[in-house]
């Protein structure tokens, strides 16, 4: 890699933060569970990014020509490699993220499932479509739609799920026939590098997948060089990416932050709801875009629910785990994020909230925030308005289901949410939440239902991943209007004789009018 001038730092959700651990030419990747350096990697300059994109671009046409089955053949080899080498990849990812093993474990298997999902369904989603003309005037035409990929897709990804949020988009893009260049987060590049190296050297895959390293400047250079941008990260950075892509009219898909509400109705199974809230709020130390961050409980169930949630969260074991001593809650992956969480909790406590558990950083070594339940919160507090992205939930009492719904919808975000209650009652409420996906009597599970789209409403994003839109977005449609039979000229072409002048208008009127008089042109 060439060395270049890296950005002065990065930004994460919530506001300006300290610089990432980089010099202009290198990034030092740290283990958040210990604070110790793991590895130093070289930063890609804008020139190096452009060179990488040009190289994979040169190979894209052959990749596209392989067809859906040919590409699935290669992606199937990646699936097998991920399954065979998951321990190796998980070790690396655990080191760079500080996740507990159980939180890391689902990344390779999610990707394997996604490869099979798109490999077996791509023909239905992006295969050629035959369309029947809507009008008899087009009877001589054969109509077809073919889906051709954006040649090079650039993926910019965050640090919370280093493989799921990079390769998870690369898989449908590659299956669609695009070449892909990924810029992972500067905090967590190592697991991805391992997989991309394996694609090149162990699997021997076609040279249509690569990654480039660096902070915001490298990300910006990638936006300039590619034909489609898939961004996952904070809404703050998402706006910058979209503005930069606008300069070259490059289409974007943005998967941004969330402030997901959970509604607990009085008729819910409160044990299940409390266990779900504990896991949905603390999984991956709350560093999940679809974490449970706000909980609204109908008044009659409030005290019992809070007591159960508190009992469950108190049991959680936090720290660096190993096979002999598994833990439940791991480290904060980005040190910047811990400062944001700390600030939001301090703001809430200063405004009258109470912490039933946690409420502060855990003692070192490593970067940990204690699993925290806040009560006596309201929507004037940052912790109920801004994305927290840490192991913190705020719980509010709601007079009734309507008030819970109003509070749930009172957010600039709209990524996903959940409702717990009697099945039909909960489903009715779920249908009225303003967000891209709602789980009924479960949390986070929509991410694994790749059959249905997932994407943000409001300031949570633009576009969808998963389902048909998750692969179609990487394609451009090309409509083919093919003449099946024809004479030397069409009636609408030259010369405009007196007879032909009004012919097409009269024919069109005859076809489009819905009553006999108009069909015959007897009423003007």
Kindly list the catalytic residues: 255, 289
Does 13 interact with ligand NAD (rule: CB under 6 A)? yes
Q: Which of 44, 64, 107, 186 binds ligand NAD (CB under 6 A)?
A: 186
Helix, strand, coil proportions of the chain in percent (round to 5)? Answer: 40, 20, 35
Are 256 and 459 within 8 A, CB to CB? Answer: yes
Does 180 interact with ligand NAD (rule: CB under 6 A)? no
CA separation, residue 45 to residues 42, 48, 159, 250, 486 (Å): 9, 5, 21, 21, 56
Q: Contact letters (x/-) for ligand NAD, 361-390, by CB under 6 A?
A: --------------------------x-x-
Does 153 interact with ligand NAD (rule: CB under 6 A)? no
Q: Residue 144 has which token pair? A: 């077809």
Q: Which of 45, 94, 97, 157 binds ligand NAD (CB under 6 A)?
A: 157
Nearer to ligand NAD, 64 or 255 (CB): 255
Q: How many whole angstroms separate alpha carbon 336 and alpha carbon 341? A: 9
SS3 of 191-248: the string is HHHHHHHHHHHHCCCCCCEEECCCCHHHHHHHHHHCCEEEEECCHHHHHHHHHHHHHC
Chain-centroid distance of CA 257 in Å reads 9
Does 183 interact with ligand NAD (rule: CB under 6 A)? yes
**CB-closest chain residue to ligand NAD:** 219
Give Cβ neighbours of residue 174 (< 8 Å, ≥ 6 apart).
63, 71, 75, 180, 208, 209
Give the interface size with ligand NAD as a residue count (CB under 6 A).
Answer: 34
Does 45 interact with ligand NAD (rule: CB under 6 A)? no
Give least dist CB 283 to ligand NAD, A. Answer: 13
Give least dist CB 230 to ligand NAD, A. Answer: 10
Does 466 interact with ligand NAD (rule: CB under 6 A)? no
Chain-centroid distance of CA 434 in Å reads 18
Q: How far apart are the first and last CA of the chain?
A: 73
> For ligand NAD, which stretch binds (CB under 6 A), given 99-107, 116-124, 250-258, 480-488?
250-258
Helix ranges, 66-142 (H)? 67-84, 86-97, 101-104, 106-126
Does 215 interact with ligand NAD (rule: CB under 6 A)? yes
Give least dist CB 157 to ligand NAD, A. Answer: 6
Q: Are strands 11-12 and 15-16 parallel, antiparallel or unpaired?
A: antiparallel
* The total number of residues written for the chain in this structure: 524
Does 159 interact with ligand NAD (rule: CB under 6 A)? yes
Q: Which of 149, 205, 219, 330 binds ligand NAD (CB under 6 A)?
A: 219
Residues that bind ligand NAD in the complex, under the rule CB under 6 A: 10-13, 156-160, 165, 183, 185-186, 215-216, 219-220, 232-234, 237, 240-241, 255-258, 289, 334, 387, 389, 415, 456, 461
């Amino acid at each position: 890699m060439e060395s270049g001038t890296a950005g002065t730092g990065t930004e994460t959700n919530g506001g300006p933060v300290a610089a990432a651990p980089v010099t202009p030419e290198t990034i030092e990747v740290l283990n958040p569970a210990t604070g110790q350096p793991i590895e130093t990697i070289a930063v890609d300059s804008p020139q190096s990014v452009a060179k990488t994109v040009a190289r994979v671009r040169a190979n894209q046409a052959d990749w596209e020509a392989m067809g859906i089955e040919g590409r699935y053949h290669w992606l199937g080899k990646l699936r097998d490699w991920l399954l065979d080498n998951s321990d190796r990849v998980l070790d690396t990812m655990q080191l760079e993220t500080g996740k507990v093993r159980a939180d890391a474990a689902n990344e390779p298997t999610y990707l394997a499932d996604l490869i099979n999902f798109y490999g077996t369904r791509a023909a239905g989603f992006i295969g050629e479509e035959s369309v029947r003309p809507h009008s008899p005037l087009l009877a001589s035409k054969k109509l077809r739609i073919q889906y051709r990929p954006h040649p090079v897709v650039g993926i910019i990804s965050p640090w919370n799920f280093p493989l799921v949020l990079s390769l998870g988009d690369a898989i449908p893009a590659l299956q669609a026939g695009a070449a892909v260049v990924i810029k992972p987060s500067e905090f967590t590049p190592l697991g991805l590098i391992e997989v991309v190296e394996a694609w090149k050297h162990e699997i021997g895959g076609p040279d249509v997948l690569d990654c480039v390293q660096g902070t915001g400047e490298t990300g910006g250079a990638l936006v300039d060089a590619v034909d489609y941008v898939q961004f996952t990260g904070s809404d703050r950075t998402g706006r910058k990416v979209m503005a930069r892509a606008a300069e070259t009219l490059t289409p974007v898909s943005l998967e941004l932050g969330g402030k997901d509400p959970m509604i607990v109705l009085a008729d819910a199974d409160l044990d299940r709801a409390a266990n779900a809230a504990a896991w949905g709020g603390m999984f991956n130390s709350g560093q999940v875009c679809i974490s449970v961050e706000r909980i609204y409980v109908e008044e009659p169930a409030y005290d019992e629910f809070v007591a159960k949630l508190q009992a469950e969260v108190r049991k959680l074991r936090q720290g660096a785990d190993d096979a002999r001593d598994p833990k439940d809650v791991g480290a904060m992956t980005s040190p910047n994020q811990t400062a944001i969480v700390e600030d939001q909790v301090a703001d809430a406590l200063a405004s009258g909230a109470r912490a039933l558990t946690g409420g502060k950083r855990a003692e070192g070594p490593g970067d940990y925030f204690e699993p925290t339940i806040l009560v006596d919160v309201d929507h004037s507090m940052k912790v109920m308005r801004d994305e927290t992205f840490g192991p913190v939930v705020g719980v509010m009492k709601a007079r009734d289901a309507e008030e819970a719904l109003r509070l749930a919808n009172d957010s600039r975000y709209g990524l996903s949410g959940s409702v717990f209650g009697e099945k039909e009652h909960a489903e009715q409420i779920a249908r009225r939440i303003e967000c891209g996906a709602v789980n009924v009597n479960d949390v986070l599970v929509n991410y694994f239902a790749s059959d249905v789209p997932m994407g943000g409403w409001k300031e949570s994003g633009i576009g969808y991943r998963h389902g048909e839109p998750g692969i179609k977005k990487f394609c451009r449609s090309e409509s083919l209007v093919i003449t099946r039979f024809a004479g030397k000229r069409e009636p609408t072409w030259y010369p405009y004789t007196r007879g032909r002048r009004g012919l097409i208008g009269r024919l069109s009127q005859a076809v489009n009018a819905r009553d006999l008089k108009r069909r015959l042109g007897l009423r003007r």
